[in-house]
Amino acid sequence: MIDNIHKWLVLRLTLLWLVLSLMVGSIVQYLGHTSLDNHVVNMAQTETSHYTADFDAYLKSPSPQALAVFNQAIQSLIEKDNLIVVEFYGADSKKVTEAVKSSAEEIEKRLPKHGDEFSNASGIICEKLTLGQDIFMQVFVPILDSAGDKQGYLEGIYHAPGDIVARNKNEILLALALVVVIIFVITLALYPLIIRLNHKLLNYSHILALTNIGVLKVLGSAIAKLDSDTNIHNFRVALYSFRIGEKLHLSHTAMQGLIKGAFLHDVGKIAITDAILLKPDKLTYEEFETMKTHVSHGKEILCSYDWLKDANDVVCYHHEKFNGSGYLSGLKGEDIPLNARIFAVVDVFDALTSRRPYKEPFSLETSMGIIRKDRCKHFDPKIADLFLEHAEALYAEICSENEPLLHSKLEECIKICF
């Protein structure tokens, strides 16, 4: 589980808020600009329609006098509206006349020029132009007769009113701010909900973990009783392992695998006959070869359950030796998994200090002497030295305690790791 759910959640909700704000904000901005463009197009089309009637009348009866009257009319119109340039063309695409707003002559010179790309168009066309903060619309309007034939056309440059553009920008900014605030409020509302759901998940996970551990302890204890007169061996080696893991500052994940492995280290012995497991005398070569197969049997048992796979290091490699003379894989040195190197020391120490069908318990001094003698051979010297440094205190805490007290201590360790 995540150690600091609050920090993790705040970071991700903040990231979610920023991403959603950018995405939705971009959509709002796009829709706002589209709305502005459509509004300007409608206004441009409306204002150019004022000119089409006069131009249509001129085309029906063209003359110098009519053109002079028309020029006067369009110049008067253009000074009053938002068009800055209007050009009129006949059916042959030749310019008839034009009008330029006196106050916009300099602006008109700075706008991009156009050719005759619209001359063959049959419908109204509008193209957006920008100059700094100003928005312009290039408008093409065909002049059709009653039969639908094109008599001419006009092209105009429409300057969008500044107040309308400013109002639209303010509306877009307001909409963006509103979107950001709404998403923030929704994200903020998700925080306690997710925390609550996480607490429920943690509780369910803890219950499940305790259930799994309960099954683990029952199974481990059942296996321990196959070659021992008590299941307390598993409690002791699990506690020894936990204490050494603490000294080595193992992560909770590594400690979980170590504790599981401690309970199930001999699970493969379920496949070994009692005649070999409980034999009070030294095993023959053939019997010992059979005994060694409990490692491979254990591996086969664990591989069918994902929750137990992290116990694999201990189950499969706790009989490896630091000098490479162990079984089954013959691993050497730090090629042996750390959890297996830890468990190898505590398992042998507990076997030495415990009563077994084939031996009486050795004293603390004798057991420590054997561990010390086999450092660099059987045991990782660093782990052996660390264990020997604390062996007396660990022996006093664990070895002589009864099963209920050891069980209680182990429960506290399990609460820390699971």
Give, for all 418 residues of the chain, the pLDDT tens digit.
Answer: 455 777 888 888 888 888 888 888 888 888 887 887 787 778 777 877 888 888 888 888 888 888 888 888 888 888 888 888 888 888 888 888 888 888 777 776 776 666 565 566 667 788 887 777 788 888 888 887 777 777 888 888 888 887 877 887 888 888 888 888 888 888 888 888 887 877 777 777 767 666 777 777 777 767 766 665 556 888 899 999 999 999 999 998 999 999 999 988 988 888 888 888 878 788 899 999 999 999 999 898 888 788 888 999 999 999 999 999 999 999 999 999 999 999 999 999 999 998 876 678 999 999 999 999 999 999 999 999 999 999 999 999 998 888 788 888 888 888 888 7
What strands, in cross-sheet order, belong to the sheet with 95-100?
A: 95-100, 83-90, 150-159, 134-144, 125-131
Domain 5-169 -> CATH class: alpha beta
> 376's torsion region: left (phi>0), alpha (psi -120 to 50) or beta?
left
pTM of the model: 0.56
What is the model's pLDDT at position 303? 82
User: In whole angstroms, what separates CA 112 from the centre of its chain?
Assistant: 48
What's the fold here for domain 225-417?
Hypothetical protein af1432 (1.10.3210)
Query: Quick one: tokens of 83?
Result: 């068009």
pLDDT of residue 245: 95
pLDDT attached to residue 1: 47
- Return the HEC string of the chain: CCCCHHHHHHHHHHHHHHHHHHHHHHHHHHHHHHHHHHHHHHHHHHHHHHHHHHHHHHHHCCCHHHHHHHHHHHHHHHHHCCEEEEEEEECCCCEEEEEECHHHHHHHHHCCCCCCCCCCCCCCEEEEEEECCEEEEEEEEEEECCCCCEEEEEEEEEECCHHHHHHHHHHHHHHHHHHHHHHHHHHHHHHHHHHHHHHHHHHHHHHHHHHHHHHHHHHHHHHHCCCCCCCHHHHHHHHHHHHHHHHCCCCHHHHHHHHHHHHHCCHHHHHCCHHHHCCCCCCCHHHHHHHHCHHHHHHHHHCCCHHHHHHHHHHHHCCCCCCCCCCCCCCCHHHCCHHHHHHHHHHHHHHHHCCECCECCCCHHHHHHHHHHCECCCECHHHHHHHHHHHHHHHHHHHCCCHHHHHHHHHHHHHHHC
Query: CA-to-CA distance for 404 and 306, rounded, in angstroms?
Result: 30
Q: Are strands 150-159 and 134-144 parallel, antiparallel or unpaired?
A: antiparallel
- Dist. CA 339–CA 318, nearest whole Å: 8
Residue 394's pLDDT is 94
Domain residue limits, the chain: 5-169, 225-417
Q: How many CA atoms, within 13 angstroms, populate the side-chain half-sphere of residue 376?
A: 2
> What are the residue numbers of the active site?
269
Give me 144's structure tokens.
């059709």
Name the nearest CA neighbour of 71 among 94, 93, 95: 95
Quick one: tokens of 201? 């998940």
* Cross-strand bridge partners of residue 89: 95, 153
